Structure 1
Amino acid sequence: MTALSNAFETIFHSFNVPMAVIIEYGQEQRFDKVNAAFLQLAGYSKQELFQLPPSRLFHGWESTCNNDGISSPHVLVTKYDRTLYVRLTCRSVQSYDLPTRLLIAEDITARMWIDEKVRTGSVLLSGIVDNQFIIQHIEENYPMPLFDSDFTVQYQSIFKIVHEDDLTYIKEAIKQYLSLRQPQQFMFRTRKLADLVYLEVTLILSPFYNGDESLKNNGFVVTDLRTCSDPVDPSVKLKVLMARCSMSAQQLSQATGISVQTISKLRNGKIGKPHQLTADLIATELNVKGQDIWK
Structure 2
Amino acid sequence: MPVFRTIFDTMDTPMALLKDAANGPYFERVNEAFVRFVGLPRDELTGQSLEALFPGCRLEELQETACVYTLQGLQEQAMRIKLSCRKLDIALEAIWLLTAEDVSAAQWIERQSSAHPVLMSGIVEANYVISKLEKTSPSAALAPVQELDYLQKSILSIIHPDEQARTIAAIQEAARSRKPGNLTIRTKRLADAVDLEVRLVFQPFYDGSGELKQYAFVVMDLRPSTEPVDPAVKLKIVMARCNITALQLSETTGISVQTISKLRNGKIRKPQRLTAELIATELGVKPQEIWS
TM-score by length of 1: 0.91
Identity %: 41
Quick one: which amino acid aligns to residue 197 of structure 2? Answer: E
Q: 2:238 aligns with which of 221, 236, 241?
A: 241
Tell me, in whole angstroms, the C-alpha distance in 2 between the residues paired with 1:52 and 1:153.
41
Identify the residue that residue 101 of structure 1 maps to in structure 2: 96
The C-alpha deviation readout for 1:172-199, integer Å capped at 9, x for no partner, is 2222222111101111111111552111
Please tell me whether the aligned partners of residues 24 and 30 of structure 1 are also in contact (alpha carbons under 8 angstroms).
yes
Bigger Cα displacement from structure 2, 129-138 vs 155-164: 155-164
Identify the residue that residue 44 of structure 1 maps to in structure 2: 40
Please tell me whether the aligned partners of residues 25 and 98 of structure 1 are also in contact (alpha carbons under 8 angstroms).
no
Q: 2:69 aligns with which of 69, 74, 80?
A: 74
Tell me, in whole angstroms, the C-alpha distance in 2 between the residues paired with 1:60 and 1:268.
55
Evaluate the alpha carbon distance shift between residue 148 and residue 38 of structure 1 in structure 2; reply closer, same or farther with a 3 A threshold. Answer: same
Tell me, in whole angstroms, the C-alpha distance in 1 between the residues paired with 2:108 and 2:236.
27
Identify the residue that residue 25 of structure 1 maps to in structure 2: 21
Evaluate the alpha carbon distance shift between residue 220 and residue 172 of structure 1 in structure 2; reply closer, same or farther with a 3 A threshold. Answer: same
Quick one: which amino acid aligns to residue 83 of structure 2? Answer: L
Give 1:150 deviation, angstroms: 7.5
Kindly report which structure 2 residues correspond to 1:159-238, keeping only aligned pairs within 5 A, or say none: 159-194=156-191, 196-238=193-235
Please tell me whether the aligned partners of residues 18 and 38 of structure 1 are also in contact (alpha carbons under 8 angstroms).
yes
- Look up the SS of the partner of 2:20 in the other structure: strand
- Look up the SS of the partner of 1:59 in the other structure: coil
Please tell me whether the aligned partners of residues 70 and 87 of structure 1 are also in contact (alpha carbons under 8 angstroms).
no
Tell me, in whole angstroms, the C-alpha distance in 1 between the residues paired with 2:215 and 2:64.
28
Bigger Cα displacement from structure 2, 48-57 vs 157-166: 157-166
Tell me, in whole angstroms, the C-alpha distance in 2 between the residues paired with 1:80 and 1:53.
22
TM-score by length of 2: 0.92
Tell me, in whole angstroms, the C-alpha distance in 1 between the residues paired with 2:174 and 2:113.
22
Kindly report which structure 2 residues correspond to 1:118-133, keeping only aligned pairs within 5 A, or say none: 118-133=113-128
Give 1:29 deviation, angstroms: 2.4
Evaluate the alpha carbon distance shift between residue 67 and residue 42 of structure 1 in structure 2; reply closer, same or farther with a 3 A threshold. Answer: closer
Quick one: which amino acid aligns to residue 217 of structure 1? Answer: Q
Matched, 1:144 2:139: yes
Tell me, in whole angstroms, the C-alpha distance in 2 between the residues paired with 1:263 and 1:254.
11
Structure 2 spans left out of the alignment, 5+ residues: none
- Look up the SS of the partner of 2:71 in the other structure: strand
Tell me, in whole angstroms, the C-alpha distance in 2 between the residues paired with 1:98 and 1:192.
60
Name the Cα RMSD after superposition: 1.9
Q: What is the number of residues matched between the two proteins?
A: 290
Matched, 1:57 2:53: yes
Tell me, in whole angstroms, the C-alpha distance in 2 between the residues paired with 1:153 and 1:21.
36
Give 1:80 deviation, angstroms: 5.0
Tell me, in whole angstroms, the C-alpha distance in 2 between the residues paired with 1:222 and 1:121.
10
Structure 1 spans left out of the alignment, 5+ residues: none
Q: 1:287 aligns with which of 265, 284, 289?
A: 284
Q: 2:105 aligns with which of 110, 117, 120?
A: 110
